[in-house]
């Protein structure tokens, strides 16, 4: 009986099998998973602000943008900025029938025409830090005005860029200050658990934030009050161009970036974003220093009114965070100093007792010391002071012990030199 001969696989057959294997490897799904960077990115995209993702090579910036475009059902157009000429973004001159009458129009590239025809899309400007200064200059109008030559991109197009730090970029350049100031800068890092689950076939799902229509007016009012309030007392923050070349290529405060920040606060408030997400967005727009000042200002805006606390100390709800609780207690003492009355002074002591019972006792030391100096000669010492005396004395002894330990450490270090 003849032995059957197996057919020898052809090259085309093997490539087809390889294609099947590649399809299986690329098959993945998504899951709802908290990811503050992805949430910050989608919020900025919803706010129609250009975003720049900073991260080391291979960190997943391109993959995140591809997944974002799929989740938002937006056609993705990727443009490698470093391989284009300035004319690719400013437009190529085309001689018409009568240049003297009609002028010379600037023809846009084909990818821009496709975006206009689609009416919507996600424009991904990759490798931005490897684009030479001339190309960066040509990108200014595209990023800010959404114009390429004589073509205007439709409102449905969002712009996201990605860049590597100059130290890890291929022949990298620092971003020019005018271009950097047009972006919301987000530091893109990897999450170990996200990477492991993603390699297993499950990635985080990107979704557009859900805006609450009833919160829109209050969100806008809060954003304007926060930004304008800070800049009123800190006018030097309105425009502060960093002195170093590297910081100029990142986030720094200007009227343009403050306007972007105001927009982001309104969006974050309307969707109820976490403080972590808001912090990424604010610091990525005006820089770490001004951003942290604005966040602290927002925290103070949410603090309870000292007069309401003095009116009913027993029902007072104090913030859990130590710095905010300290600010509230200081505000109560300041209110008593402004209008010193026996009833208000007594209420402040009862409030300090409540603060001691519901939080760290050391937070009442400074307010209690200051409040004691406000006593008038004819005011009786309230019973509440006795309840605070132990906590205040214990805190002071702990401070003195810490000071002595620090002095001994400093003396030992000096002796060992």
Query: Domain map of the chain by residue range?
Result: 29-92+107-204, 213-301, 306-411
Burial 210-227 (b: 16+ CB within 10 A, else e): eeeeeeeeebbebbeebb
pLDDT for the residue numbered 394: 44
Query: 359: helix, coil or strand?
Result: coil
pLDDT for the residue numbered 401: 45
pLDDT for the residue numbered 167: 65
Q: What span, in angstroms and rounded, lies between the C-alpha atoms of 65 and 402?
A: 51
pLDDT for the residue numbered 411: 58
pLDDT for the residue numbered 386: 67
Query: 413: helix, coil or strand?
Result: helix
Q: What span, in angstroms and rounded, lies between the C-alpha atoms of 172 and 180?
A: 15
Return mean pLDDT, the chain. Answer: 83
pLDDT for the residue numbered 236: 92
pLDDT for the residue numbered 398: 42
CA distances, 41 to each of 2, 12, 35, 44, 373 (Å)? 67, 42, 10, 5, 51
Q: What span, in angstroms and rounded, lies between the C-alpha atoms of 157 and 77?
A: 10
Q: Write out pLDDT tens, residues 329-383.
A: 888 899 999 999 999 988 998 888 888 888 777 788 888 888 888 888 888 877 7
CA distances, 146 to each of 152, 154, 180, 352, 361 (Å)? 6, 8, 16, 56, 56
CA distances, 299 to each of 278, 290, 296, 302, 307 (Å)? 12, 14, 5, 5, 18
The parts of the chain modelled with pLDDT lower than 50 are 394-399, 401-402
Bridge partners for 203 per DSSP: 30
What are the tokens at 99? Answer: 């240049």
Q: Whole-prediction pTM value?
A: 0.74
Q: Which fold has domain 29-92+107-204?
A: Rossmann fold (3.40.50)
């Amino acid at each position: 009986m003849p032995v059957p001969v197996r057919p020898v696989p052809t090259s085309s057959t093997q490539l087809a099998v390889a294609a099947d294997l590649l399809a299986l490897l690329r098959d993945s799904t998504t899951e709802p998973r908290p990811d503050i960077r992805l949430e910050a990115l989608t919020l900025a995209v919803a706010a129609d602000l250009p975003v720049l993702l900073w991260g080391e090579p291979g960190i997943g910036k391109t993959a995140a943008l591809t997944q974002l475009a799929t989740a938002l059902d937006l056609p993705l157009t990727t443009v490698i900025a470093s391989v284009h000429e300035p004319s690719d973004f400013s437009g190529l001159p085309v001689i018409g029938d009568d240049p003297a009458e009609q002028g010379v129009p600037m023809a846009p590239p084909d990818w821009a025409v496709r975006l206009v025809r689609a009416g919507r899309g996600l424009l991904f400007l990759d490798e931005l830090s490897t684009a030479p200064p001339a190309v960066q200059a040509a990108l200014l109008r595209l990023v800010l005005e959404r114009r390429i030559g004589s073509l205007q991109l439709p409102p449905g197009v969002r712009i996201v860029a990605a860049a590597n730090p100059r130290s890890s970029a291929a022949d990298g350049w620092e971003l020019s200050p005018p271009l950097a100031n047009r972006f919301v800068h987000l530091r893109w890092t990897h999450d170990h658990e996200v990477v492991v689950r993603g390699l297993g076939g499950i990635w985080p799902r990107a979704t557009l934030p859900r805006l609450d229509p009833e919160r829109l007016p209050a969100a806008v009012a809060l954003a304007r009050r926060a930004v304008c309030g800070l800049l009123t007392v800190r006018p030097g923050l309105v425009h502060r161009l960093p002195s170093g070349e590297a910081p100029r290529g990142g986030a720094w405060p200007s009227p343009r970036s403050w306007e972007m920040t105001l927009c982001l606060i309104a969006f974050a408030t309307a969707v109820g974003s976490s403080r972590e997400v808001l912090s990424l967005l604010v610091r990525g727009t005006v820089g770490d220093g001004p951003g942290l000042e604005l966040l602290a200002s927002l925290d103070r805006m949410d603090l309870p009114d000292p007069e309401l606390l003095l009116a009913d100390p027993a029902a007072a709800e104090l913030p859990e965070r130590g710095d905010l609780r300290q600010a509230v207690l200081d505000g109560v003492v300041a209110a008593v100093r402004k209008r010193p009355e026996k009833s208000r002074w007594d209420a402040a002591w009862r409030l300090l007792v409540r603060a001691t019972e519901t939080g760290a006792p050391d937070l009442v030391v400074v307010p209690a010391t200051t409040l004691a100096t406000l006593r008038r000669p004819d005011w009786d010492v309230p019973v509440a002071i006795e309840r605070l005396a132990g906590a205040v004395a214990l805190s002071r002894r702990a401070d003195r012990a810490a000071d002595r330990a620090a002095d001994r450490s400093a003396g030992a270090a000096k002796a060992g030199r």
